Chains A and B, each alone.
Chain A
Amino acid sequence: MTDPRFIERLRQGEEAAFCQLVEDWKDRIYNTALGLVQQEQDAEDITQEVFIIAWKTIHRFREESSIQTWLYKIAVHQSLDAIRKKKRKKRFGWMTPILGSDENGESDPGDFIHPGVQMEKKQEAQVLFRAIKKLPEQQQVAYSLQKIEGLALKEIAQVMETTDGAVEALLNRAKSNLQKTLTNYYQTHKHE
Chain B
Amino acid sequence: MILHTIQTSPAKGNRLALCLRFMREQDSLLLLGDGINSLLSPQIKQQLSNTTLYLLQDDVNARGLANALMQYDMISYEDFVALTISHNKVINW
Q: Do A and B bind each other?
A: no
